[in-house]
Structure formats: C-alpha cells, structure tokens
Amino acid sequence: MYKIGDIVLVEDKMQRSYQYMIEAPYGADFGDGFDPFYTPKQMLEMGVFEGKYCNDCLDEFPDDWFSEARVSSQPDPTLNYFGVKSRQPLNVWKRKGWIIGPDPRGWFQWYCRYYLGRRLLEVDSRQIKRWRAFRRHEAQVRANCDVGDWTCRPRQRQALLQWAYDALV
C-alpha cells in the first residue's frame, strides 16, 4: 500500500490534518527486542478492542486489514477472541499517561503506524519499552494455566492479544 517516502495524511474523528512519512519497509526493520507475535491484520481478524477500534481509520490503513476484521459500530465484547471485555476507557488511558506522542488511540494505533513504516525515535522507544514490560502477563498465564486450556485467564489472554503477544500460550 505505502512505500518508503510516502506521506500518510490522517483525517479521522480523533485527528485532523496529521501526517507522517513512511520511513521503513512494511512490517519490517523493527527495533531491537521488539518482535510482536501478531500483525495488526491478524489482531483485527481475531477480535480485539470489542470490534470498536480504528473503525473510522479505514482510509489510513490497508483495506485487507479490515476484510475479515471483527468490527462493530458499538463496543461488543463477544467480538473479542476470548469473548470477554478487556479494555479500559480512553479517559483512563489518558489519566494514566498511556497516550504517547501523536497516537491518540494508544499503543495499538502506534503499532499499526509502526508496522506501516512510520518511525518516531522517542515515541517508538517508549512504546517498545511498554510492550516489553507487558511480557509479565505472558509469564503469569504460563505459570498459572495448563497448556491448551484457553479458558484459563481469558481477560489476561485477551490483553496479551491486544498487545500482539501469543495469547494461546
């Protein structure tokens, strides 16, 4: 869809006239220690954020990301892969300082743009650090659940999926 040097113009409900340049190849050249298990397309297809994430961002992201995505005009926890609510309202994210840089929707929006090839050194560094810190949830699932028992800790597994970790550990 985009190639290095392209400028992406964002016009959606949360951002107007925001633009960024594609500086890295699509889905490649990630920072050291950042190795997400899922692509944004896979995450959207599996069911994340109750089907309500990025619904007004279709023009910014590749069409194929949404061809099989579980989306809804209203938040619907049954659309999540594990069928549970596993997110907090945006005002909580803002209050806790989880909205970083030019990504008003948080970590997943950053990841989508990073996957496309946007690079913002300071923002990328902070978001990758946050992603690495989330690994503790994967360790908790491994320590407390039998292999193959995906009914164990469904909220924590849904959160892992929403952070691009293997939720089926």
Q: Is residue 1 part of a domain?
A: no
Q: Is residue 77 part of a domain?
A: yes
Q: Is residue 159 part of a domain?
A: no
Q: Is residue 153 part of a domain?
A: no
Distance of CA 66 to the CA centre of its chain: 14
Q: Is residue 129 part of a domain?
A: yes
How much is the pTM? 0.94
Look at the chain and report how many structural domains it folds into. Answer: 1
Q: Is residue 158 part of a domain?
A: no
Q: Is residue 154 part of a domain?
A: no
What is the per-residue DSSP string for 27-85?
A: T--PPTT---SS-HHHHHHH--GGG-TTTT-TTTS-GGGTSS----SS--GGGSTTSS-
Could you tell me the residue range of the domain that residue 44 belongs to?
Answer: 7-136
pLDDT in tens, 5-26: 999 999 998 899 999 999 999 9
What pLDDT score does 57 carry?
85
What pLDDT score does 91 carry?
83
Share of the chain above pLDDT 70, in %: 100
HSE-CB at 23 with a 13 A cutoff on CA atoms is 11
Q: Is residue 18 part of a domain?
A: yes
